[in-house]
Structure 1
Amino acid sequence: MLRLISDKRTEIILRQKEPVIAALSAKYSVPAAFIKAILYMEMTRIDIMDTVADAVVLSNLFSKKDSSTGYAQIFGRVALNAVNSALDHGISDFLYIKLDTAHRLDPDNPADVRAVWKYLRRNINANIEAGVLNMLSAAEEMTGRIDFSSYSEEELKLILTRYNANTRKITKYGEEAYSHYLRYLNK
């Protein structure tokens, strides 16, 4: 795997994005260390194939219509599901996406997915926010509640795992992300 963002560069970017991360942490009650852990995991795994996948989606010439994009490495469809979940819970709304829409955005509608994907690809702060909304959605799915102050170590690992994979078992990714969460928590 030819990584495009080194560990060192990731840490620089996270420091640069500190005001955005702090604002999202306060807005959604997700610990900044948790947001940083996910971003670190996703950014340090961006490789040349991610760039190729984004180019294929952007070209709209082939059957691939969605890919993980941006620092949060989030798919347009996943972002729409996360926004819809936040909307249903009264946490957020479509305004942050800044799409002129008279309908609820549908993750099964290719035009909606494409519009959101393109926006998240070009607006990195919105990309990070969509990632945070996906963290909230994963938390609710894995624990039945959204309350980061009450999660056990196992629940945090499950949420971190779910961000990356559709499974109900803690994975190596969840374990590693949790170690980064603790590292950022202690900084």
Structure 2
Amino acid sequence: MRCQVLLLAVLLLGSLGLAGYIHNNRKEELKLAKHASFQNVKHRVTRDVLKEYLTHVVESSSLLDKTKKQIEELKVDVAGVEQVAKAKKAEEDACSGDLKRITDEGAAIDTDKTNTDGEFQKKKADLQEQIATLKKEAEQQSKVCNYIKKDSIDGQKLCGTENKGEMKKAEPEEGVNKENTYVERSA
């Protein structure tokens, strides 16, 4: 009987040990199953995120290609516009040069006009002074008239002492017109 009890104790201890071992293994298996499930979900999420990134990379790449094409087109357009701008700048420079030349010529003409106007005003003033002096001299009786006979027709004409009636008679007789008389007086 002792053997049987011992056998029974060994069997009971072995059964308990085996039950503990199975329980431990089952716990470990559940833990590993949870871990594997978590890793599987993590792997799927990572794969989905990677697919999204790859989609974004493809879209970004196509957008980059389109942008590069647009940049090339714009470079061609800019080169054309720069050539037109250079041509317009050359025209502007030419026009500015012409404008400066015309402005300088206008200023020179204005200066000449001002100088000419000044000279004209001086000469006009001199001539008006001479005219006034000559009119004054013409109105004054000459000193020669003191020595000329007052009854001679030529003396009366020169000195202006003649009668109006006698002058009218003298003009038709001699055939002398007023212009000649005036010319003789002013001379």
TM superposition score normalised by structure 1: 0.17
More helix by share: 2
TM-score by length of 2: 0.17
Q: Which has the larger radius of gyration?
A: 2
